[in-house]
Amino acid sequence: MLTIATWNINSVRLRIDMVRRFLAEAKPDVLCLQEIKCRNGEFPEKAFRQAGYKHMHVVGQKGWHGVAIVSRVKLEPIEAPAICPKKEARIAAVKVDGVEVHNLYVPAGADVPELTNPKFAHKLKVLDRMKALYKKRKGGAPTVLVGDLNVAPGEHDVWSHKQLLKVVSHTPGETDRLNAVRDLGGFVDLARQHRPEPEKLFTWWSYRSPDWTKNNRGRRLDHIWASADLAPLSQLDSLQIHVSCRSWKRPSDHVPIVAGFKL
């Protein structure tokens, strides 16, 4: 069994104790982190080594981006698809046990879903590049694509489909593009494979909410996809959305997801 987790940690240095707690409790073989908010030399390698995750591939950047993959088993960094036209640190890729793992952090797009908003326009460009790049890769090596894709693609991936149709992360321009990435790339959405609609699934709750547990206005922005050859090997009982992490002290607004594969 190979278990892979993904988590937008919103500053790995600030929340390293939380990460160590999650690793101790969930024990994934591989953890993919987004929005690490540090450069390579600032990544807390020592803490991960002490936790048993001695293998790392960090693509850091000063500011708000950065992704990293840490593993208990040997990993081999590989060339990642160039999804970002601005060359921001938004993707890292490795090979583990013969499986390619792609860890992505798609731009959030700010608050205004218009092309006059440069951040939203940038987000759409990234999604368009993903469509083209993953279409070319279809049928290649067994691949798991994970990360904060910053799009809630389905009607039941948000607390209110009707109210969020004009809200960034659930507009048709975003959802159509993300669904096209999945389909053109030959991927299977593992969360929906194991927990199909109409069950509502969320991985993110806004910091702006005074009590996220009471109104539960969440969105499913974080995803684990598998290429068609790997999806049947995904284990139902291994698919976990760790909602409880949202209640930890000084949490990220995202929670981890884990999926396992019987290779």
pTM for this prediction = 0.98
| Segment 13-22 mean pLDDT | 98
Exposure of 198 in the CB half-sphere (CA atoms within 13 A): 3
Per-residue pLDDT tens over the stretch 43-91: 999 999 999 999 999 999 988 899 999 999 999 999 999 999 999 999 9
Which residue ranges form the domains of the chain, and what is each CATH number?
A: 2-261 (3.60.10.10)
Per-residue pLDDT reduced to its tens digit, 119-151: 999 999 999 999 999 999 999 999 999 999 999
Kind of pairing between the strands at 76-77 and 91-96: antiparallel
SS3 call for 41:
helix
Spatial CA neighbour of 200 closest among 209, 191, 208? 191
Calculate the average pLDDT of the chain: 97
Residue 210 pLDDT greater than 80, yes or no: no
Using pLDDT thresholds of 50, 70 and 90, give the confidence band for residue 234.
Answer: very high
